[in-house]
Amino acid sequence: MNCFKERLNRFKVWLSRSGAWINRFKERINRSEAWLNRFGTWLNRFGTWMNCFKERLSRSKAWMNRFKERLNRSEALLNRFKERINRSEAWMNRFGAWLNCFGEWMNYYYDKNIKA
């Protein structure tokens, strides 16, 4: 009978120790669950921030695309303007060459008339 009581007492001690261990395990689970909840809320905030950032990035990309289009248009306009300047410059060169010829002819004619 004594042996049975001893074994029963040992079992009770083991049970109380294992209960304490189970309680510690439950506490750790609760702490980790709270930490996971905090981490989850942080992740949600980070996700909303990322969505805002992506939205702003897409807006700025659209703005940049519009800016590029305007730049391309103005560049095309500038190129047309340069072409017109080049054409007028070529015309001015031709006119200058004609004026030179005319000036030489006038000098020749003038010299001929003075000498004559």
**Inside any domain, residue 11:** yes
Tell me the average pLDDT of the chain: 87
Q: What is the 3-state secondary structure (H, E, C) of 93-106?
A: HHHHHHHHHHHHHH
CB within 8 A of 89, min separation 6: which ones? none
Distance CA 8, CA 94 (A): 123
**Inside any domain, residue 14:** yes
Domain that holds residue 2: 1-86
Tell me if the pTM is above 0.75: no
**pLDDT score, position 108:** 84
**Inside any domain, residue 71:** yes
**Inside any domain, residue 21:** yes
Number of domains in the chain: 1
Distance CA 22, CA 16 (A): 10
Indicate the pLDDT class of residue 14, thresholds 50, 70 and 90. Answer: confident
**Inside any domain, residue 77:** yes
**Inside any domain, residue 5:** yes
pLDDT digits (tens, 9 = 90+) for 48-71: 999 999 999 999 999 999 999 999
**Inside any domain, residue 95:** no
